[in-house]
Structure 1
Amino acid sequence: MKIGILSDSHLKSDYTKDVIDFLKKINCEYLIHAGDLCMEKNLQLLEESELKYIAVFGNNDRNLLNLSFKYNIKQEPYYFKIKDTTFKLMHLPYYLTPDSQIVIFGHTHIFECDYKNKTLFLNPGEVCAREKPLIECVQLEVKEKEYIISRYFKNINEINFTKEEYKYER
């Protein structure tokens, strides 16, 4: 199963659309957004992707709270399951406990992946290119015996994404 993961879109709906289109192009079946969407347009883009998606509210999403009935956006930490894999999704990295197989977070705007005690911790970095001039996202491939994390990033002036790959045995 292939999952597209993004976070910290902020007010960059054009970058968000670019990332979602790219994640669809590389055959992601699901989208997970780790918060700070900041505007309804970014939720609309998730909805319009026609992929199954889930998002959590970030610390800059107070103006979106009244839209939880309209979009698949939840309070953090949010626990869910895709097939046989358990996830915990949050924006703020306050709940980094190994109580799921995969823990996804945002907020820091810094890509991070670590596999400790049979839990994968993952931060996809930032879509908005605020902290550095890079648009970032991740494709997580969940296989029976391994996780393959593909970090994709590109400079805001570039067309194509660069790929870095990380693998962990489950």
Structure 2
Amino acid sequence: MIGIIADTHDNIDAIRRAVDFLNSQNVSLVLHAGDFIAPFTVKEFKKLNSPLVGVFGNNDGERKGLGEKFSQMGTHLKDFVELEHKGKRIALYHGTIEEFVSALVKSGDYNIVIRGHTHSPKIKKENGTLVINPGEVCGYLTGKNTLSILDIEKMKAVIHEI
């Protein structure tokens, strides 16, 4: 199982709930699709029982500080990450440029494309690619604190409200 989160936007209480939920689900990996915001949030992500892979979002202005804090836990943030997990190719991008998201999906290079930015949870299959937007952990825009759990072997993702 993979935990998928995005748009945490400094909401410490919501981040704590997300970390607790992900730990309770025994996920083997957590993917964060950006908009952490401030370096002080890193201490909460250190409580994860699994590795974290993340990307910068459009609101992550303090990139140097975020990069330094996350590197202390072995996580190196970039604007875009591609990885392979259990034989599946995954693209992780915040989603700021919709044309780039569309190109990732249409490329056929990835089994899974994970994005954030819109704060709206959505799971769809397009051109044979599973596209996952976990919504927003912060809950600021929608009033709902959401994340996703992906069963990568079954290629099935579910949105959870925390």
Same fold per superposition (TM over 0.5): yes
1:137 matched to 2:140? no
Would the aligned equivalents of 2:42 and 2:69 in 1 still touch at CA under 8 Å?
Answer: no
SS of residue in 1 equivalent to 2:79: coil
Identity of aligned residues (%): 28
SS of residue in 1 equivalent to 2:44: helix
Aligned length: 151
Q: CA deviation at 1:148?
A: 1.8
- Distance change (3 Å), C-alpha of 1:50 and 1:27: closer
The structure carrying a bigger strand percent of its residues is 1
Q: Which has the higher contact order (CA 8 A, sep 6+)?
A: 2
1:74 matched to 2:77? yes
Aligned residues: CA RMSD: 1.6
Q: CA deviation at 1:82?
A: 1.6
Q: CA deviation at 1:93?
A: 4.5
Query: How does the TM-score come out when normalised to structure 2?
Result: 0.85
Correspondences of 1:11-160 after superposition (within 5 Å)? 11-71=10-70, 72-94=75-97, 95-96=100-101, 97-98=104-105, 99-143=109-153, 146-153=154-161
Runs of 5+ in structure 1 lacking a partner? 154-160, 162-170
Would the aligned equivalents of 1:88 and 1:103 in 2 still touch at CA under 8 Å?
Answer: yes
Would the aligned equivalents of 2:116 and 2:135 in 1 still touch at CA under 8 Å?
Answer: yes
Query: How does the TM-score come out when normalised to structure 1?
Result: 0.82
